[in-house]
């Protein structure tokens, strides 16, 4: 299979077809309420559909596909429920009324989906099977750990925000006392684990799919993850000395290191 082989081409076409179709509806309604749901839904659809396209259902393929599907379902439901409660996503305050800029956001989401799920797309296109290796078990263990980290961190933050007594306060208990962004740490661990498992069968150019965890790390640490969260947090809690003490003493992403 060439780099632009049929399964990857179909996946890209479906991915961007979904994002651009949703953009047309979202731009017409001037809403971002289903933006995250569309992204997670695309992950779920591509994971299952790529397995069907491949025509093979080896154990490694089924496990990795199931992990992507479970992550997408959990995160999509969580983010959709959250935006319904909050009413809006501040990221879109200056773009929901500008169709051209809004289109760029939806296109970037398409790029994020395709690059992040790339190892699983390539894995599901493989016809030959190979025995389960230590890499698979390590990768799956990373995914499970990351999934638990993200799920627990999201739950802790939701419960914290739901308590009226915490109005105007920042969270610094549970996983959030260990690192500043435990949910992002979990996200990175999950996709790194899926790539590691996929390397058991990747050959030659297919290792380009390492771009999945690398792109995610770049996105979360330099673009739309931590930088935006830091800016928002400073605006909210910048006058609180306890907040500055917290960010000074608490590692951003990796416990006890950074």
Cα 43–Cα 222–Cα 210 angle in degrees, nearest 5? 50
Q: Are 157 and 171 in contact (CB under 8 A)?
A: yes
Cα–Cα dist 205/69, whole Å: 26
Position 180 pLDDT exceeds 80: yes
Both structure tokens of 146: 């990351």
Q: Are 204 and 140 in contact (CB under 8 A)?
A: no
Q: Quick one: pLDDT at residue 36?
A: 95
Q: Quick one: pLDDT at residue 2?
A: 42
pTM: 0.93
Q: Are 64 and 123 in contact (CB under 8 A)?
A: yes
Torsions phi, psi of 196, nearest 5?
Answer: -60, -45
Q: Quick one: pLDDT at residue 88?
A: 86
Cα–Cα dist 175/153, whole Å: 6
Q: Quick one: pLDDT at residue 218?
A: 96
C-alpha dist (Å) from residue 49 to 39, 46, 75, 225:
15, 5, 19, 29
Q: Quick one: pLDDT at residue 169?
A: 92
Q: Quick one: pLDDT at residue 90?
A: 82
The residue whose two tokens read 């809690």 is: 237
- CB-CB neighbours of 222 under 10 Å: 10
pLDDT tens digits, 204-243: 999 999 999 999 999 999 998 999 999 999 999 999 999 9
Q: Quick one: pLDDT at residue 56?
A: 85
pLDDT tens digits, 53-96: 988 899 999 999 999 999 999 999 999 999 998 888 888 988 88
DSSP 3-state of 108: helix
Torsions phi, psi of 33, nearest 5?
Answer: -65, -25
What share of the chain has pLDDT > 70, as a percent? Answer: 97
Could you tell me the residue ranges of all domains in the chain?
Answer: 6-249
pLDDT tens digits, 114-143: 999 999 999 999 988 899 999 999 999 999
Q: Which one, of 103, 82, 97, lies nearest residue 31 by Cα? A: 97
Total residues belonging to the chain: 258
What share of the chain has pLDDT > 90, as a percent? Answer: 85
């Amino acid at each position: 299979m060439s780099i632009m082989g049929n399964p990857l081409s179909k996946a890209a076409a479906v991915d961007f077809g979904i994002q651009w179709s949703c953009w047309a509806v979202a731009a017409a309604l001037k809403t971002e309420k289903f933006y995250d749901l569309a992204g997670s839904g695309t992950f779920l659809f591509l994971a299952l559909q790529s397995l069907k396209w491949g025509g093979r259902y080896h154990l490694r393929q089924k496990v990795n596909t199931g992990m992507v599907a479970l992550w997408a379902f959990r995160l999509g439901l969580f983010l959709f429920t959250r935006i319904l409660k909050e009413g809006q996503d501040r990221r879109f305050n200056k773009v929901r009324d500008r169709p051209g800029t809004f289109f760029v956001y939806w296109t970037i989401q398409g790029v994020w989906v395709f690059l992040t799920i790339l190892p699983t797309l390539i894995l599901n296109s493989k016809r030959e099977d190979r025995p389960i290796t230590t890499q698979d078990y390590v990768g799956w263990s990373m995914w499970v750990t990351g999934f638990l980290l993200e799920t627990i961190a999201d739950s802790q933050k939701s419960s914290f925000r739901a308590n009226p007594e915490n109005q105007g306060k920042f969270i610094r208990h549970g996983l959030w006392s260990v690192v500043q962004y435990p949910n992002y740490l979990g996200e990175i661990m999950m996709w790194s684990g899926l790539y590691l498992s996929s390397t058991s069968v990747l050959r030659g150019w297919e290792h380009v799919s390492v771009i999945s965890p690398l792109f995610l790390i770049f996105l979360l640490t330099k673009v739309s993850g931590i930088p935006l969260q830091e800016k928002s947090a400073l605006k909210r809690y910048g006058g609180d000395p306890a907040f500055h003490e917290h960010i000074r003493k608490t590692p951003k992403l990796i416990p006890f290191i950074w």
